[in-house]
Amino acid sequence: MAFRLLPDEPPQEGLPRCAAEEYDKAIAHLAGPAEERQTAVHEARKCLKRIRALLRLVRPALGKRYKRENAQLREIAALLSPYRDADAMLELLASLRQSRPEMLDQRMYAQAHAALQGRRDGLVHADQGYPPVARMAIERLRAARQGLETWQLPANPKSLEAALRDSYRRARKAGKRAAASNEVEDYHDWRKRVKELLYQSELFRDTRLGPPARYRKQLDGLAELLGEHHDLSVFEELLATPAIFPDRAHAEQVLTLVGHRRQELEQQAGEIWKALFCTKPGHYFGGEE
């Protein structure tokens, strides 16, 4: 079932159900064949992000348990992150070569691809490779899933409304901070807040608290822009690595192009911020189509 509450489903029943389904999906992905590692890690990490977005909504009800359960999910994600990062850099390199060929000539692309491929292969085949990491992640996921059985959520939806509005305010504030500072870390934090709000919007889309479709579309577009911005920030770090880009003069030229593209993305993200976050939280959640 999709990650969303049913129209007439009580949240105290539906939220644990949605979390349990995401746990089960993550476990199923990681339990698959090692050859499907790339897809499995990517999908499992998305499941973890959805659960953490849901967890944030019920934080008041969980009390001190929130930090413990959130930390469990963060540790599981950390186990998988090196594999996802290694795959993502190769994907990013190929995407840039295809969509913005002026950034990478064939020689530079081939050198960087070989270096990144070597890094990924070294990670995948280190020690006993990926399978033991997947088994450890599955074990921790199963343990974390058991905690859902003791969740005690209030039947009153008012606390959820307040939590949803807080998520909206956090995303709005993070965008304002990123635009003011122009720091990579602040844009990365804004991206996380936007993704959290997006998952929560999807979770409630079929209920009276769900935001209008046009808001979800804008939010999804903003997440895409900030995702590309994040990828380019990581790519800048790669450009500074001589082992990956030995032609330093060319690397500096590409760095300038990357900087220009990031500025374009920041401007576009700022325009969406103005359109999306000019309304009040109560209008966003539960607003009319």
pLDDT 10s digits, 170-225:
999 999 999 999 999 999 999 999 999 999 999 999 998 889 899 999 999 999 99
Alpha helices in the chain (DSSP H): 11-30, 37-57, 59-62, 65-99, 106-124, 130-146, 158-181, 184-203, 213-239, 248-276, 281-284
pTM beyond 0.85: the answer is: yes
Determine which of 114-128, 135-149, 247-261 has the lowest per-residue pLDDT on average.
Answer: 114-128
Residues 6 or more apart in contact with residue 228 via CB below 8 angstroms: 265
Going by C-alpha positions, the residue among 257, 281, 277, 280 that lies closest to residue 269 is 277
pLDDT, one tens digit per residue, over 19-52 is 999 999 999 999 998 788 889 999 999 999 999 9
Domains and CATH numbers, the chain: 1-155 (no CATH), 157-289 (1.20.120)
